[in-house]
């Protein structure tokens, strides 16, 4: 395997401004959402929150340190907040998507050939559609998941199976 020492995404090459920007989006953003949602849910006597994380918050990956750190931190936030608010009747969970078709995904994986290669990394050999993630979130928001809190659910076609 070639050395990543010269890779611009290696930890020692990531600028602190970029690192801070990734954390601001992927960790501080959900924190602020929870901060302002939770008082409303408390006043209503409970409820459910689903946050979007990533497979990057479940497994490590080369060239991904800043993103992975933000998503692993998000998992800690979800688990801790779930414990803090369970007695208030509030469930807090997250979904952790793998590759999912979107405008951003199509900019990064911009040919059908590259999409086929990406899909092959998942045991189910599938790139998810946004409605797959919506179904997962709707389940976690529903009473069908009333016994579930503090979990980060992988929705990634089996990519995190070890």
* Residue 67 is among the residues annotated as catalytic for this protein: yes
Count other C-beta atoms under 10 Å from residue 36's C-beta.
9
Q: How many CA atoms lie within 13 A of 76 on its CB side?
A: 9
CB distance 97 to 156 below 8 Å: yes
Q: Which of 36, 67, 85, 155 is catalytic?
A: 67
Indicate the length of the chain as a whole number: 162
Nearest Cα to 152, choosing from 71, 70, 36, 87?
71
The 3 state secondary structure assigned to 44-57 is CCCEEEEEECCHHH
Q: Could you list the active site residues?
A: 67
């Amino acid at each position: 395997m070639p050395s990543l020492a010269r890779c611009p995404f290696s930890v020692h090459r990531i600028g602190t401004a970029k690192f801070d920007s990734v954390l601001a989006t992927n960790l501080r953003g959900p924190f602020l959402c929870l901060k302002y949602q939770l008082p409303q849910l408390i006043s209503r006597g409970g409820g459910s929150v689903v946050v979007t994380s990533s497979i990057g918050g479940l497994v490590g990956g080369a060239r991904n340190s800043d993103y992975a750190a933000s998503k692993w931190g998000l998992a800690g936030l979800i688990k801790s907040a779930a414990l803090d608010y369970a007695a208030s009747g509030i469930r807090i969970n997250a979904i952790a998507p793998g590759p999912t078709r979107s405008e951003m995904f199509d900019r990064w994986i911009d040919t059908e050939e590259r999409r086929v290669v990406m899909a092959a990394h998942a045991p189910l050999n599938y790139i998810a559609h946004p409605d797959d993630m919506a179904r997962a979130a709707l389940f976690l928001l529903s009473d069908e998941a009333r016994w579930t809190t503090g979990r980060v659910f992988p929705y990634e076609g089996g990519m995190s199976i070890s």
